[in-house]
Structure 1
């Protein structure tokens, strides 16, 4: 379908991994005798990994340094991506359906590149993506549209004809402000409550099993 492109977030959108990300902070903190508050969790959700590591060290007292915290997180999450992560139900079928209909796709994620590549390969998405990019490639975060524009450059589409699918409310704010089309899938209230996603997305689904590629493209054509 000429002129239409789709950019997917990875964690919480294509794959079931946000629980592991939320838990790794709490687990590492608990092992050090530190209890994270809801305010801590809310703050960390919008941060890049270096920012979150600095926050956990400086504000919560975890680790000998922010670099130490980052290394601990990486060790736990690399093992998770290599051995445990799974695609969200229906996600691969949706991606395959778009690919069969000629829709170019990419992944734009806040996950470090090595973990991201491992995850996309393990869960079967790699053959269908024009690009898999991380905010780390650009030294930015999803509070800015740069990572989406970088992914879009591989699709040959403009912002107005490129859909971004996210589970995080703050990332949808970025997409919408930049003029992208916005799709959302609910994952958890930390990333974005149902009401928060409704307020930000043109299209919201509970699971990928609730949307076929054909139904999505019918909406795009409407």
Structure 2
């Protein structure tokens, strides 16, 4: 990671250990309506924005609720978890402080909402470490495209080639590579089925941030 001046982090599954919460929310949301969770649901929605996800649920599960009503219910279900229960992945804070001490600019690039992102980062006492936060709502396309990473680099006033992206899912790693950035794959239980493919294309792959703290 020599010559890297900016580090861009995904939120869920990369900085915070939250993916099981989202799987539970999907399960609870559908079970409440006597619907089963399809085995391939995670892979179909992992890169979608909240709005795209709500539209996907309405169409594929033939829900009577509007996308706006679905979004509101999801938000109400998850806000308590983000306020109290979701923790950082192991050794995240120490690694962020190490980068900050080296003069590396830090950013978040997330499909989550601005409110939940700031809430969980503040609760875990790392919000002030970041120079910028970019959510998918600020660009027109989801993380299967490089737009969000390019915008992050612009906010940091850095060329993409001087930035490294930390992500836990394959489509996002591919998009970051397309943006000409270094990529670090982060292991997460929810995406372990993608582990080998991520290793094939990412510049680095880690199971714990302590591997990067030297």
Q: Residues of 2 paired with 1:140 and 1:150: CA distance?
A: 12
Q: Residues of 2 paired with 1:66 and 1:25: CA distance?
A: 15
**54-63 vs 122-131, greater mean Cα deviation:** 54-63
Question: Over residues 103-135 of structure 1, what are the superposed CA-to-partner deviations in whole Å (9 max), with x where a residue is unaligned?
Answer: 111111110111111111111221211101111
Aligned to 2:79: 78
Aligned to 1:95: 96
Q: Residues of 2 paired with 1:125 and 1:66: CA distance?
A: 32
Aligned to 1:41: 42
Give the SS at the match of 2:112. coil
Q: Contact 2:149–2:179 at 8 Å: present in 1 too?
A: no
User: Which 4+ runs in 1 deviate beyond 6 A?
Assistant: none
Provide the TM-score with structure 2 as the length reference. 0.93
Provide the TM-score with structure 1 as the length reference. 0.89
Q: Residues of 2 paired with 1:191 and 1:147: CA distance?
A: 24
Change (3 A) 1:91 1:134: same
Give the SS at the match of 2:15. coil
Give the alignment of 1:94-133 within 5 angstroms. 94-133=95-134
Aligned to 2:24: 23
Give the SS at the match of 1:6. strand
Give the SS at the match of 2:76. helix
1:7 aligns to 2:8 (yes or no): yes
Q: Residues of 2 paired with 1:14 and 1:195: CA distance?
A: 21
Residue 193 of structure 1 and its aligned partner are, at CA, apart by: 2.2
Change (3 A) 1:192 1:132: farther
